[in-house]
Amino acid sequence: MEMAILPEVTQSTEEVTLEDIQVGDPAVNTAEEIDRLRRLIWRHRHLLIGKGNALPPAARGIVCDIDVRGAKPIAQRVRKVAPPFREKLSDLIKGLHELGS
């Protein structure tokens, strides 16, 4: 069995402030609605993307061929990847996918 080690990851996005969040349309939404949405987004910012960053697409259709000698697979749920690691992990998966093709 071979193991892969993720390289050291540096912060690739700027810090985001509450004022940077652009939501709503002042012609349609009230100032209170816009402020409420901004605060909701701010409260859950750890789940969202940073300034100038985008989430990588979901890794679908990737096949990993590992010899497990007949061991039964264990079903696990999908886990979130912390924003600072997404870009490096995406590059690693793409590299592994290219090697397997």
Report the pLDDT averaged over residues 1-8. Answer: 62
8 occurs within a structural domain: no
Q: Is residue 7 part of a domain?
A: no
User: pLDDT, tens digit, for every residue of 18-52?
Assistant: 777 778 888 888 989 988 988 888 888 777 655 55
Rounded CA gap, 42 and 20, in Å? 10
- pLDDT value at 87 more than 80: yes
Instruction: Indicate whether 81 belongs to any domain.
Output: yes
State the pLDDT at residue 84: 87
What pLDDT score does 56 carry?
52
In a domain, 9, yes or no: no
43 or 99, which is more confident: 43
* 30 part of a folded domain: yes
Q: For the whole prediction, is pTM greater than 0.85?
A: no
According to DSSP, residue 29 is labeled S
Q: What's the confidence (pLDDT) of residue 11? A: 59
Give the range of the structural domain holding residue 95, as residue numbers without chain letter. Answer: 18-100
| Domain presence at residue 87 | yes
- CB contact at 8 A, 48 and 18: no
* Residue type at 56 in one-letter notation: P
What element of type H or E holds 43? Answer: helix 31-43
pLDDT at 53 over 60: no
CA distance 51 to 15: 7
CA–CA distance, 95 with 18 (Å, rounded to integer): 36
Which among 31, 11, 20, 15 is positioned nearest to 82, based on CA atoms?
11
- 11 part of a folded domain: no
Q: How many domains does the chain have?
A: 1
